[in-house]
Amino acid sequence: MKQRIISSVIYFALLLCILLVDIPIVDTIIVLLISVIAMHEYNKAFKSIGYHPISLVSYIGCGFLFLMGDIVTYEDKMLIIRIALPALIILLFMYIILKKLKITVVDVALTVFSLLYIPFLFSFIKLILSMPNGRILIWFVLLGAFASDMMAYFIGCKFGKKKICPEISPKKTVEGSIAGIIGVIVSYIVLALIMNNFYDYSINIFLVAFMGLITSIAGQFGDLSASSIKRYCGIKDFGTIMPGHGGILDRCDSILFVAPIVYMFLKLYLFM
User: How far apart (Å, rounded) are the C-alpha atoms in residues 231 and 225?
Assistant: 10
For the chain, what are the domain ranges?
2-269
Give percent above pLDDT 70 in the chain.
89
User: How far apart (Å, rounded) are the C-alpha atoms in residues 166 and 154?
Assistant: 18
Residue 210 confidence class, pLDDT cut points 50, 70, 90: very high
Amino acid code (one letter) for 85: L
pLDDT in tens, 71-84: 667 777 777 778 87
The pLDDT value recorded for residue 212 is 96
| Residue count of the chain | 272
pLDDT in tens, 121-130: 998 998 898 8
Give percent above pLDDT 90 in the chain.
43
Higher pLDDT, 41 or 76: 41
Read off the pTM: 0.88
